[in-house]
Structure 1
Amino acid sequence: MKSRVTAFRGSKHFQLKHVTDHVIAAIAIPGTGSLNNAAISDLGDTTIVVDTFLTLQAASDLKEAAIYLTGKPVSYVVNTLWHSDHISGNQVFLPEARIILTTASHEIMDTFSRQRLSQYQENIEQMVIHGRSSCVQLLTFGGGHTQSDVIVYIPEEKLVVTGDLVLSKHHPVLTNANPQEWLHILEQIEQLGIETIVPGHGNICSLRELREVKDYISDILGLVAKAMQNKQHIDSLEVPDKYQGWSFTTYFKSNLTKVQTLISAYEDEQ
């Protein structure tokens, strides 16, 4: 499949990168209709696409790439979360492919995206898709980045596709997050013994970047807690030096506000 990656005609929306014999990453090109990363997994007789980009044009290119690389139609689409940059291309793969997501994500998508998405396939909280030459495990440890997050895990290749639970050199987005649960989920992913991560945004990475996300969330929690204790306005807080070069910097302030709201709500309950 590696030679087919090189031979693919290309897309303005993403760049294909060979990760393993069974996984090709579609890394988003900034400023196009992709926004998030996606992945294609060839299980021998079954093709899986993970996430479907922000626009139908990008999703159409992704579908074409999947068929070209594997020589088969797409059997399953896995949505790692319900945000629009991960699901808006779903309809391109219907009706041939089955859409897999958690029940919680389905309910959210059905409420907020009813006009855009016409079919869903709800999944149990953990499932395995077997192919002739490989298999993938779909796991959810609950909600961290969103109310319900899914990872795609290939044990034999020590690889996981994480959606936005892990980002490479991007500020995590805490808008719909439970930071403590997010940290807990990342700890559970670490225990899987993985070596390679296809993140929601940024380049293919490893546990190093996963731990950087853990540090970021912990740092945000600490910064806000200290500011509130000192009666310091959070607008005065600056991006720490080690995150200055990361993308999605505009989310730093909203992340602070989100954490402040969570801490205030917790204190009100005590």
Structure 2
Amino acid sequence: MAETYRRGLHGLGDGLFAWLQPDGGWGWSNAGLITDGDEAILIDTLFDMTLTREMLAAMRDAVPAAANIGTVVNTHANGDHCWGNALVDGAQIVASRASAEEMAEVPPAMLASMLAAADQMGPLGDYLKTIFGSFDFAGIEERAPTRTFCERCTLTVGNRRIECIEVGPAHTKGDIIVHVPDARTVFTGDILFANGHPVMWAGPVGNWIAACDHIIGLEVDTVVPGHGPIATKAHVARLRDYLGHIRDAAKARYDAGLGAFEAARSIALDQWSDWGDAERIAVNVATLYREFSGDTNPPNVLELFSWMAQLHRDRAASR
């Protein structure tokens, strides 16, 4: 499939659509619309109310069934996939049970307060403004899932069957993918960052690799990632290779006694040099180190963002 990566609504054929937000970096997530007859299901909302409102208006203008969105599926708990939920009036909100629990852990007010204090946070604050400064987290009305599930959930829209499959914890604690068998399409949430470095907040890495293998094994032609252009299984395979590479490289450094941050700085990513947000390797290695050691404590998120800020500055200085 030729990659067409422009902002807005893209028809995928057979009543399916994707909403894309280049460049696919921090917060610039994708969403999906599945229709049959005059009914519709929305896959994910966006990072703030303005972005979600614009997306919904464009969908309703282009697709009559979008006026009747009866269900929103949140693929995971990150705000760029669920903080616009309240704008879909009357819809049931479906998510995995683990995602529903995780959504309460990082409310929009937390990110808003971090940005408000960014000017007093030095280089970390500069980085936070760079990656999140385009979004408006004030006044977001959260809407939690109204229906949760574990492992699998089957939904219908019109006469169409949709399979929600829990593959997390991986990127987050409760990731799901949404498979539309008759349209040979899968919406992956952030199990796939197409042409961008993934960020592994939760792990274990084996679950994420298994999720990639599961997608590759589906009878699908079209893969809609959580971030990036419309993709194919080749994109999934490339991300799987990345995960295997950093797992093995991090384990060698862990066994040698190298600290997590120094390990992240030393791992070569030349095969993925065309991907954005390479500084996310810091989070990925930190998560792997916790996995290797059996550490179940939650990560120090501010420290991880500080590490990413440093790597971001290092790479900018080396260009």
State the TM-score, normalizing by the size of structure 1. Answer: 0.85
After superposition, residues 88-237 of structure 1 pair within 5 angstroms as: 88-94=83-89, 96-113=90-107, 116-125=141-150, 126-232=152-258, 233-237=262-266
For residue 60 of structure 1, give the secondary structure of its aligned residue in structure 2.
helix
Q: Does the alignment pair 1:256 with 2:250?
A: no
Name the stretch that deviates more: 157-166 or 37-46. Answer: 37-46
Deviation (angstroms), 1:118: 3.7
Contact 1:128–1:137 under 8 Å retained in 2: yes
Deviation string 1:85-125 (CA, Å, 9 cap, x unpaired) is 1111111113x211111111112223443974244312333
Cα 1:64–1:244, aligned 2, differ >3 Å: closer, same or farther? same
SS at match of 2:12: strand
How far is 1:241 from its partner? 0.9
**Contact map agreement 2:167 2:208 (CA 8 A) in 1:** no
Q: 1:129: how far off?
A: 2.5
Equivalence for 2:13: 20
2:171 maps to amino acid: H
Higher relative contact order (CA 8 A, sep 6+): 2
**Residue type matched to 1:192 in 2?**
L
| Alpha-carbon shift at residue 32 of structure 1 (Å) | 9.9
Would you say how many aligned residue pairs link Structure 1 and Structure 2? 253
The residue identity in structure 2 corresponding to 1:98 is Q
Say which SS state the counterpart of residue 75 (structure 2) adopts.
coil
CA contact (8 A) 1:221 1:259 kept: yes
Residue matched to 1:47: 40
Q: Over residues 108-166 of structure 1, what are the superposed CA-to-partner deviations in whole Å (9 max), with x where a residue is unaligned? A: 22344397424431233323222335332222134221111111111012110000001
Work out the CA distance in 2 between the residues paired with 1:245 and 1:179: 22
What letter corresponds to residue 155 of structure 2 in structure 1? Answer: I
Task: Compute the displacement of 1:186 (Å).
Answer: 1.9
Give yes or no for contact 1:43–1:130 (8 Å, CA) kept in 2: no
> 1:239/1:89 Cα in 2 relative to 1: closer, same or farther (>3 Å)?
farther
Structure 1 pair 259/31, CA: closer, same or farther in 2 (3 Å)?
closer
Q: Match of 1:108, as an amino acid? A: E
Query: Percent of aligned positions with the same letter in both sequences?
Result: 23
- Specify the alignment match of 1:240 in structure 2: 269
Q: Deviations over 1:7-28 (max 9, x none)?
A: xxxxxx9322121222111111
Question: Which residue of the partner structure matches residue 80 of structure 1?
Answer: 75
Task: Choose from 56, 59, 62 the match for 1:69.
Answer: 62
Q: Which stretch of the first structure deviates more once superposed, 147-156 or 127-136?
A: 127-136
Question: In the aligned structure 2, how far is the partner of 1:234 from the partner of 1:110?
Answer: 32
- Distance apart, 1:213 and its partner CA: 1.2
Aligned equivalents of 2:289, 2:98: Cα separation in 1: 25
TM-score (normalised: structure 2): 0.73
